[in-house]
Amino acid sequence: MKQYLEKLLAREDLSLEEMQAATAAAFDDHVSESERASFLTALRAKGETPAEIAGLVKAVRAQSSQSTNAVAHVMDNCGTGGDGSHSFNISTTAAFVIAGTGVKVAKHGNRSVTSQTGSADVLEHLGVSLSFSKQHVIDMLNDNNIAFLFAPHVLPGIKRFATVRKDLAIPTIFNIIGPLTNPVALDTQLMGAYRRDMLPLLAETLKQLGRRRALIVNGAGYMDEASLAGENHLSLLENGSVRSFTLHPSDVNLPVYANEQIQGGDTSDNARILRDVLNGTPGPHLDTVLLNAGLALYANGAAPSISKGIEMANESIHSGAALKTLNRLVDYSRHAASEVM
């Protein structure tokens, strides 16, 4: 670790390969907590580069026994969290809508950190397993276009940094890499970010990680989701280049709602909201999911425009396809649990 720490303290950037090696070394039992703390703090003080973020992500993914490229053309729509909006589970709900159109979604997620209910909390309440094997994930993606990957289950190595992150009590590189560390090899991605200034940086990072196409969004009110409250800021990675633009709900014929209108509640409340949306109950929750699912379908390339993506999302809900993907995932969870018993 010493050589990499010295470079960082001298405010020199690490290459992707150096960062990958430094992170791999940090996972070693012989590395002290103070060395890990120095590593994260020096990175934060210098400012992380796309190559450094990508190198750390590659090292984290290499620690996972669930890494797989067995399924082609898979996307994720996970966000960083950390926006403090207390919204309902927007990306989790949108994942079923996306899958209902035929696009494969490896939904990465965790329990609540900054919100009342994380994706894992609400899905567990609905009957979805948090401990799928790698083969289960592959089967679900092939059979039902969706799988859920519970971060602590599929990325156990990150626990090595848990103590030092808690002790530091400041945001570090780990606060932004969650959506990047999905162990399933992703082709495309919609990524929400709570920091607007990081959109171009994250787009360049996704480029280094080999995404064919990706869209990073910071919503009105600095949400890590697209919001109907006003202007959303986005960066699109396409054909190796990055283009930034803004999007207002009126640009895609959607109404404006205050972010307070999409706040969630406890696990039971958010599970009810998720099912209401998939049943087509009109209102701000449904329209917010339509916007986010439409953006994901555009990011994936399944839709040629955001407006078309919203149309496809609307059809996924009102045809019953989105709800069917949820019900099948719950059924699959029951069968998977019975195999273990």
Binding-site residue set = 79, 82-83, 87, 89-92, 107-115, 119, 165, 224-225
Q: Which residues are annotated as a binding site for anthranilate?
A: 79, 110, 165
Nearest residue to 313 (alpha-carbon basis) of 71, 117, 105, 149: 105
Q: Which residues are annotated as a binding site for Mg(2+)?
A: 91, 224-225
Sign of CA dihedral 93, 77, 308, 103: negative
Nearest residue to 108 (alpha-carbon basis) of 174, 187, 184: 184
CA dist., res. 60 & res. 156, Å (int): 9
CA dist., res. 65 & res. 48, Å (int): 27
- Is residue 7 a contact partner of residue 45, using CB atoms and an 8 Å limit? no
| Amino acid letter, 203 | A
- Is residue 231 a contact partner of residue 202, using CB atoms and an 8 Å limit? no
Query: Under DSSP, is residue 178 helix (H, G, I), strand (E, B) or coil?
Result: helix
Which secondary structure element, helix H or strand E, spans residue 147, and what is its range? strand 146-150
Say if strands 232-238 and 74-76 run parallel, antiparallel, or are unpaired.
Answer: unpaired
Q: Which residues are annotated as a binding site for 5-phospho-alpha-D-ribose 1-diphosphate?
A: 79, 82-83, 87, 89-92, 107-115, 119
Token pair in block for residue 255 = 């109404």
- Is residue 54 a contact partner of residue 205, using CB atoms and an 8 Å limit? yes
Query: Under DSSP, is residue 218 helix (H, G, I), strand (E, B) or coil?
Result: strand
